[in-house]
A = this chain, B = another copy of it.
Amino acid sequence: MVKDYTLNEITIQVIQYLKDAKRTEFNRLLDELHPYDIARIYELLPIKHRNRFLSFLNIAQLASMLQELDNEQQQNVLNHLGIEKAVKVMDKMDNDDLVTLLEELLPESKEKFLANMKKEESQVVQDLMNYSPETAGRLMTNRYVWIPQHYTVKDVMNKLREYAEIAESINYLYVINDKKQLIGVISYRDLILSEPKEQVETIMYERVISVTVNTDQERAAQIIQRYDFLALPVVNHDNVLVGILTVDDMIDVLIQEASEDIEKLSASGKDIDFDTKAPIAAYRRLPWLILLLFIGLVSGTIVSTFEETLQKVVALAFFMPMIAGMTGNTGTQSLAVVVRGLTSRDINKKVVMKLIFRELLVGIIIGLTCGILISIIAYIWQGNPLLGLVIGSTLVITLIIGTLAGTIIPLILHQFKVDPAVASGPLITTLNDVLSLLIYFGIASIFISHLM
């Protein structure tokens, strides 16, 4: 019955059940919903109904809903629940999600929750938190099925039935030896196509693609994406299987990395979304803007150096915004190609040299096209062929330099493993401003006597 309703309609129904305290009907309805939807309904509920809503949900439902809420809402729910129930819910949560939740809490609440959780669970979570952020170790889950190498297909099927409920992914079964080292993998598909008596060892793939606990999360996500895997095993430095990464978490990593690329290109500051409060958003963007303000003043200093030239031929000022703007634009275009390319493929010297040469050629083509065009326009507009030539040749040079700056700067930063956020679009734009003005007034000063 519930199947064709929109979330708003379901929420109205939920409110009715809450008002009438119809717990059975409430549970029947909620059983049909995904955790994501339950979380959305919780957000849609008026505050006054939330307490009863939470008290009607069972521990498992609370755990899966909590995983779909943002951090602020998670903390609200935890406060509502009280420490005792909250800890029970935490015990049921996927440990990777739990780590993310705990990290955002104040140190004292974190300690309080950890102290009250089941010992083994709190140990697992604390182990995970010891890995560096953005590594495979931090994101892996321990809810997977491992198979000793001497098992038969039938043994595996029995084990699977036993563990299906707690395993996050049963698409791949990882085979381990008696030292718990990862030695093979079987897909579930291969398993149901095999005879029950067959030995796992004989049907498994030996070339298991795995990552270590220290592998960067972006690298792990790339592997999942390239191989179309649904999960990826994580081993420690003795090749002992310690967890798996699941495709849903890796999608989130890919999206996060794409957002970071966009932050780089726009210097928009970390972690600003629609819900960020204005003072926080402003605070995160200001450092960049103030830096760029000072670099912008460098442009001003350059212009002031050429004050005399400018005073003699004011028309030079008319083309300043266009030249600086165009150089910035070509730089941003190249930057986007490089930043995006770096995330999607592996880099070696040959690739880099080819790319730089390509962008040089692009710069020349773009520079010549725009340079010739603007020469003609400037000549017609200002009636001065030499002015046209000065502006045209400036644009040829600055567009080539702009393109190369947008290509080489991020590559160098990548090479030296500097946080590539430094190579932000506005930074390259502003640097290109400075360069282009230097070249413009440099060329203009040479021809100044003829320009007047």
> Which A residues are within 8 Å of any B CB, using their own CB?
1-3, 32-34, 36, 160-161, 164-165, 167, 170-171, 188-189, 192-193, 205-209, 224-228, 230, 247-248, 250-252, 254-255, 258-259, 261-263, 265-269, 272-274, 276-279, 281-282, 285-286, 288-290, 292-293, 296-297, 299-301, 303-304, 307, 310-311, 314-315, 317-326, 328-330, 332-337, 339-341, 344-345, 351, 354-355, 358-359, 361-362, 365-366, 369-370, 373-374, 377, 425-426, 429-430, 433, 437
Q: Is the CB of A267 within 8 A of B333?
A: yes
Q: Is the CB of A340 within 8 A of B433?
A: no
Most central of A336, A369, A374 by chain B CB within 10 Å: A336
Q: Is the CB of A373 within 8 A of B290?
A: yes
Q: Which of B170, B225, B317 contacts A255 (CB 8 A)?
A: B225
List chain B residues, Cβ under 8 A from A267.
329, 332-333
Which residue of B has the minimal Cβ distance to A335? B266
Q: Which of B265, B377, B430 contacts A297 (CB 8 A)?
A: B377
Q: When A2-B207, A285-B333 are in contact, do A324 and B321 touch as well, CB less than 8 Å?
A: yes
Q: When A286-B366, A289-B370 are in contact, do A278 and B321 touch as well, CB less than 8 Å?
A: no
Q: Is the CB of B265 within 8 A of A425?
A: yes
Q: Which of B167, B279, B318, B437 contacts A301 (CB 8 A)?
A: B318
Q: When A255-B258, A425-B425 are in contact, do A281 and B362 touch as well, CB less than 8 Å?
A: yes
A336 to B354, CA, bound (A): 30
A277 to B355, CA, bound (A): 10
Q: Which of B266, B301, B319 contacts A265 (CB 8 A)?
A: B266
Q: Which of B207, B225, B265 contacts A251 (CB 8 A)?
A: B225
Q: Is the CB of A333 within 8 A of B274?
A: no
Q: How far is the CB of A60 from chain B (nearest CB, A)?
A: 14
Q: Is the CB of B325 within 8 A of A299?
A: yes
List chain B residues, Cβ under 8 A from A319.
300
Which residue of B has the minimal Cβ distance to A358? B278
Q: Is the CB of B325 within 8 A of A268?
A: no
Q: Which of B188, B266, B336 contacts A332 (CB 8 A)?
A: B266
Q: Is the CB of B325 within 8 A of A292?
A: yes
Which residue of B has the minimal Cβ distance to A4? B207
Q: When A251-B225, A425-B266, A426-B329 are in contact, do A296 and B321 touch as well, CB less than 8 Å?
A: yes
List chain B residues, Cβ under 8 A from A248.
225, 228, 247
Q: When A170-B189, A326-B292, A365-B278 are in contact, do A310 and B321 touch as well, CB less than 8 Å?
A: no
List chain B residues, Cβ under 8 A from A328.
325, 328, 426, 429
Which residue of B has the minimal Cβ distance to A368? B282
Q: Is the CB of B326 within 8 A of A268?
A: no
Q: Which of B230, B340, B429 contacts A262 (CB 8 A)?
A: B340
Q: When A255-B344, A310-B314 are in contact, do A339 and B370 touch as well, CB less than 8 Å?
A: no
Q: Is the CB of B366 within 8 A of A192?
A: no
Q: How far is the CB of A309 from chain B (nearest CB, A)?
A: 10
Q: Is the CB of A34 within 8 A of B262?
A: no
Q: Which of B160, B293, B370, B426 contacts A374 (CB 8 A)?
A: B293
Which residue of B has the minimal Cβ distance to A342? B274
Which residue of B has the minimal Cβ distance to A323? B296
| Sample of 19 further A-B pairs with CB below 8 A, known A268-B332, A288-B329, A300-B321 | A34-B207, A251-B251, A262-B262, A262-B336, A265-B336, A273-B341, A274-B354, A274-B355, A278-B361, A279-B361, A281-B362, A282-B362, A282-B365, A285-B366, A293-B373, A296-B323, A299-B322, A320-B321, A329-B429
